[in-house]
């Protein structure tokens, strides 16, 4: 069974960097001394094993699943079940059983935080997760483009309608800044996340730039140093503050 604060990372559509945010947030929380699990419920587009550079699957013990550990984070993913990057062609009931198994049949141990990489949008898998995890803190990932923010609003409203607390928005691909330059280029426009935050009654937690990483900065999608590493660490600190009860502080 799961313990600790549950952070669901959601988005209105794919391609906005939700999984990258999920993985780096989990690693940043672990670097701050927290016991962290990362569950990849992005069933049809699971990418966490590749991002975390994992080439092996979980083991079992006493009819329970032992999660894979990487970068100090305990991990479960549909990517461990489907081999050779094959497409997932399962229907709803089978997927629901996998989701339930990841929650109830894994030896998670005592956790401070559980980061869930949710499927994009408001489909059946997202509804199944919301049913099995009736309350969580949610972070909505979008890009600054107004159309992306418009689609993301639906996911934010779904969170509110299902008793989940939307704690903030992460604007990914916010701008591009060339190396050794002060100039910022807003490739996807600007202002969309602020409008979205106002509409949903929440705040913008981070604006993450597009950066061409130097060799050694990341592995293969986990940032180990540089601007994005610092920004993810700051995001993790904000999440801890927003989700901590007075008794824990």
Burial of 59 (0-12, 13-18, 19+ CB in 10 A): exposed
Report yes or no on 95 lying in a domain: yes
Per the structure, the count of domains in the chain is 1
Report yes or no on 67 lying in a domain: yes
Report yes or no on 57 lying in a domain: yes
Q: Which residues contact 111 (CB under 8 A, 6 or more apart)?
A: 2, 3, 4, 35, 36, 37, 74
Report yes or no on 194 lying in a domain: yes
pLDDT at 208: 96
pTM beyond 0.85: the answer is yes
Enumerate the β-bridge partners of residue 5: 113
What tens-digit pLDDT sequence spans the chain (249 residues)? 788 999 999 998 888 999 999 999 999 999 999 999 999 988 777 889 889 888 888 888 888 899 999 999 999 998 887 665 544 444 555 667 778 888 888 999 999 999 999 988 766 777 778 778 878 899 999 999 888 888 888 888 887 777 789 999 999 999 998 888 889 999 999 888 999 999 999 999 999 999 876 666 667 788 888 889 999 999 999 999 999 865 444
Report yes or no on 237 lying in a domain: yes
Q: Cβ distance 144 to 186 under 8 Å? A: yes
Report yes or no on 249 lying in a domain: no
Report yes or no on 210 lying in a domain: yes
- Domain span including residue 112: 5-243
CATH number at residue 98: 3.40.50.300
Report yes or no on 248 lying in a domain: no
């Amino acid at each position: 069974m799961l313990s600790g604060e549950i952070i669901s990372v959601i988005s209105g559509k794919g391609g906005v960097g939700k999984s990258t945010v999920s993985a780096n947030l989990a690693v940043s929380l672990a670097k701050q001394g927290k016991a962290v699990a990362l569950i990849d419920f992005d069933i049809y587009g699971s990418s966490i094993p590749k991002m975390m550079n994992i080439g092996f699957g979980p083991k079992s013990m006493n009819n329970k699943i032992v999660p894979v550990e990487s970068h100090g984070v305990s991990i479960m993913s549909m990517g461990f079940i489907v081999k050779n990057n094959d497409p997932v062609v399962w229907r709803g009931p089978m997927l629901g059983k996998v989701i339930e198994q990841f929650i109830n049949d894994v030896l998670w141990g005592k956790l401070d935080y559980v980061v869930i990489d949710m499927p994009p949008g408001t489909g059946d898998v997202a509804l199944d997760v919301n049913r099995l995890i009736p309350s969580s803190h949610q972070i909505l990932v979008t890009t600054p483009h107004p159309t992306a923010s418009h689609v993301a609003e639906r996911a934010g409203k779904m969170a509110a309608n299902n008793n989940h607390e939307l704690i903030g928005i992460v604007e990914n691909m916010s701008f591009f800044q060339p190396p050794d330059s002060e100039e910022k280029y807003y490739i996807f426009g600007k202002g969309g996340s602020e409008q979205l935050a106002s509409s949903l009654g929440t705040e913008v937690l981070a604006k993450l730039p597009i950066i061409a990483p130097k060799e050694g900065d990341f592995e293969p999608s986990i940032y180990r140093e540089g601007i994005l590493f610092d920004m993810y660490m700051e995001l993790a600190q904000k999440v801890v503050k927003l989700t901590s009860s007075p008794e824990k502080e």
